[in-house]
């Protein structure tokens, strides 16, 4: 079988350090097996950077064995049966380049389960590899390779499911998801990462048990959602979240985009539009997963979140206007606030929350550029308002065009090309990205005879506005404008 040949090729390349580790556990009278993702990836022809092992040894015994094998070890996961270790790079005996560091995590055979009212798993240690594998999330992750003899263990036909690119659970899906509800998020994530289909019985359990995800901590949900969005094809995973009802609990703004389209089709399906925008934004990321280059190296979480969520302000702002039109006035402002609330609830870091909310707020700013012709001051303001998010805003705005009208799409693309060219010209002339007032705070205080205070800030903002509107001025011109402004303030 091609999959087996591929796996043998990958497993044969396991570092001797790993085989030695298996021998050490065997000498101590215990089993050791490579489990989960590394085994699955071997059959997919990929070398996994994470080396996860299961053992019959207790955490204390595991710690003793790893202390003798590695140069460093840690027990931060000991309460869950996991001990980690690192063996530093060693020069090869034949004089070839040194092998890289080897980092392993070894976990005692176990089963995780949740108390119905608890957010934390209760850990119960087991005594067999097959029992441990039965409590894995999916059959494709319930395969193992015993060490050091490299015996393949597959009690739940994970290899067959891998060949069919299908997600099934080793036990009933209801029992699996009841043991750890986060596995429901993983089903969506694996659909995005691996391109696997969810088996019908698994999808039924997802739908029936979706509400149980609410007992899982926001941080764990966030981490799974992040992995899903950074996958090569996040759309597939997002569709699993929405169709199963999971999104109703973890990202309710997404299914809310499935607005009912009225009989005259006066607006787009916003949900479908958002998924297309996400796909188009991914296409505009620079570089690859392996070699990220350029101004927005992919995968870029901020850009992908903004592309997915930029229109979440539309449902609450939708209005049917007299004459048959539909409007979404100020949906970008409303949406920015909604984005910030949702990402904070999911415990995203402050920088990510601010960036995604700001892109949502700015995503309509470009519209109208091709109609009215912006002044240089409008272009400067666009760049200044975007700040360090400018390159992402470029890509979000371009991705937001999903019209099937080729002429309209070409017109929008041409207009944005023109805007980017004008930005480049202005940047060359006056370094627009670093625009500052013509007088700094110290100079303002000297001209007006003031000490530090809010008035100086107000004067600074006035001069910045003047600079944005009219471009650079000489110090003398700026001082004269400042004095004139100050006289008006005094009057």
- Work out the number of other CB atoms within 10 angstroms of the CB of residue 331: 23
Q: Kindly tell me if the per-residue pLDDT of 321 is higher than 90.
A: no
Which tens digits make up the pLDDT trace of 114-172? 566 665 656 778 889 999 999 899 999 999 999 998 888 999 999 999 999 999 999 99
Considering only CA atoms, which of 296, 318, 293, 292 is closest in space to residue 307? 296
**Pair (151, 291) in one structural domain:** no
Count of domains forming the chain:
3
Is 244 or 18 the better-scoring residue by pLDDT? 244
Q: Kindly tell me if the per-residue pLDDT of 257 is higher than 50.
A: yes
pLDDT of residue 98: 61
Q: Kindly tell me if the per-residue pLDDT of 31 is higher than 90.
A: yes
Q: Are 182 and 221 in contact (CB under 8 A)?
A: yes
Is residue 185 one of the residues assigned to a domain?
A: no
Is 188 or 449 the better-scoring residue by pLDDT? 188
Distance CA 61, CA 64 (A): 5
**Pair (306, 427) in one structural domain:** yes
pLDDT of residue 114: 55
Is residue 466 one of the residues assigned to a domain?
A: yes
Residue after which a domain boundary falls, among 127, 157, 187? 157
Is 223 or 384 the better-scoring residue by pLDDT? 223
Distance CA 440, CA 48 (A): 54
Confidence of residue 263 (pLDDT cuts 50, 70, 90): very low
**Pair (150, 4) in one structural domain:** yes
Give me the domain span that covers residue 392: 285-434
Confidence of residue 489 (pLDDT cuts 50, 70, 90): confident
**Pair (347, 453) in one structural domain:** no
- Work out the number of other CB atoms within 10 angstroms of the CB of residue 157: 16
**Pair (407, 452) in one structural domain:** no
Is residue 373 one of the residues assigned to a domain?
A: yes
pLDDT of residue 323: 75
SS3 labels along 140-187? HHCCEEEECCCEEECCCCHHHHHHHCEECCCCCHHHHHHHCCHHHHHH
pLDDT of residue 265: 46
**Pair (420, 450) in one structural domain:** no
pLDDT of residue 327: 77
Q: What is the pTM of this model?
A: 0.81
Stretch 415-430: mean pLDDT:
81
Across the chain, what does the average pLDDT equal? 87
Which tens digits make up the pLDDT trace of 101-120? 889 999 999 875 556 666 56
Is residue 468 one of the residues assigned to a domain?
A: yes
**Pair (15, 100) in one structural domain:** yes
Which tens digits make up the pLDDT trace of 464-477? 888 877 778 888 88
Number of H helices, E strands in the chain: 24, 13
**Pair (116, 52) in one structural domain:** yes
**Pair (400, 484) in one structural domain:** no
Is residue 204 one of the residues assigned to a domain?
A: no
Provide, rounded to the nearest whole percent, the portion of the chain with pLDDT above 70: 88
Q: Kindly tell me if the per-residue pLDDT of 250 is higher than 60.
A: yes
Is residue 225 one of the residues assigned to a domain?
A: no
Q: Which residues contact 371 (CB under 8 A, 6 or more apart)?
A: none
Q: Kindly tell me if the per-residue pLDDT of 394 is higher than 80.
A: yes
**Pair (372, 471) in one structural domain:** no
Is residue 392 one of the residues assigned to a domain?
A: yes
Which tens digits make up the pLDDT trace of 350-373? 999 999 999 999 998 887 665 667
Is residue 190 one of the residues assigned to a domain?
A: no
Residue after which a domain boundary falls, among 402, 417, 434? 434
Which tens digits make up the pLDDT trace of 322-344? 877 787 888 999 999 999 999 99
- Looking up residue 60, the CATH number of its domain turns out to be 3.30.460.10
pLDDT of residue 121: 59
User: What is the DSSP pairing of strand 144-147 with strand 197-198?
Assistant: unpaired
**Pair (358, 466) in one structural domain:** no
**Pair (108, 83) in one structural domain:** yes
pLDDT of residue 368: 67
Residue after which a domain boundary falls, among 157, 185, 211? 157
Q: Give the CA distances from residue 422 to residues 251, 363, 468, in Å, rounded to whole numbers and listed in that order.
A: 38, 19, 15
């Amino acid at each position: 079988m091609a999959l087996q040949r591929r796996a043998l090729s990958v497993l044969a390349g396991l570092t001797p350090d790993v085989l030695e580790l298996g021998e050490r556990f065997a000498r101590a009278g215990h089993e050791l097996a490579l489990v989960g993702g590394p085994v699955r990836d071997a059959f997919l022809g990929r070398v996994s950077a994470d080396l996860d092992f299961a053992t019959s040894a207790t955490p204390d015994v595991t710690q003793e064995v790893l202390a003798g094998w590695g140069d460093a070890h840690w027990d931060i996961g000991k309460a869950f049966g996991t001990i980690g270790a690192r063996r530093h790079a060693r020069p090869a005996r034949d004089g070839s380049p040194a092998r890289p560091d080897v980092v392993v995590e070894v976990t005692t055979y176990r089963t995780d389960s949740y108390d119905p009212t608890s957010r934390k798993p209760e850990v119960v240690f087991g005594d067999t590899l097959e029992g441990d594998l039965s409590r894995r999330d999916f059959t494709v992750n319930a395969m193992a390779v015993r060490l050091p003899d490299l015996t393949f263990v597959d009690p739940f036909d994970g290899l067959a499911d891998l060949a069919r690119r299908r997600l099934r659970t080793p036990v009933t899906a209801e029992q699996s998801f009841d043991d750890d509800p986060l596995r429901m998020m993983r089903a969506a994530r694996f659909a995005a990462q691996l391109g696997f289909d969810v088996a019908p019985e698994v999808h039924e359990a997802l739908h029936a048990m979706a509400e149980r995800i609410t007992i899982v901590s926001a941080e764990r949900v966030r981490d799974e959602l992040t992995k899903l969005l950074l996958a090569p094809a996040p759309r597939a995973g997002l569709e699993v979240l929405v169709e199963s009802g999971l999104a109703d609990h973890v990202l309710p703004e997404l299914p809310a985009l499935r607005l009912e389209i009225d009989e005259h089709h006066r607006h787009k399906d916003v949900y479908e539009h958002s998924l297309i925008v996400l796909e188009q934004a991914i296409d505009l990321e620079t570089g690859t997963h392996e070699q990220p280059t350029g101004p927005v190296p992919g995968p870029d979480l901020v850009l992908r979140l903004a592309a997915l969520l930029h229109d979440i302000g539309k449902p609450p702002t939708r209005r049917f206007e007299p004459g048959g039109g539909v409007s979404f006035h100020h949906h970008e402002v409303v949406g920015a606030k909604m984005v910030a609330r949702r990402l904070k609830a999911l415990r995203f870091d402050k920088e990510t929350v601010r960036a995604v909310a700001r892109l949502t707020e700015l995503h309509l700013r470009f519209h109208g550029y091709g109609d009215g012709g912006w002044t240089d001051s409008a272009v400067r303001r666009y760049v200044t308002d975007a700040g360090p998010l400018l390159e992402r805003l470029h890509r979000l705005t371009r991705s937001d065009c999903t019209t099937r009208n080729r002429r309209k799409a070409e017109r929008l693309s041409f207009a944005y090309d023109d805007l980017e060219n004008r930005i480049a010209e202005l940047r060359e002339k006056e370094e627009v990205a670093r625009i500052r007032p013509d007088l700094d705070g110290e100079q303002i205080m000297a001209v007006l005879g003031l000490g530090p205070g809010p008035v100086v800030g107000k004067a600074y903002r006035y001069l910045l506005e003047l600079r944005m509107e009219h471009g650079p001025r000489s110090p003398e011109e700026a001082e004269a404008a400042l004095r004139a402004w100050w006289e008006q303030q005094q009057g």
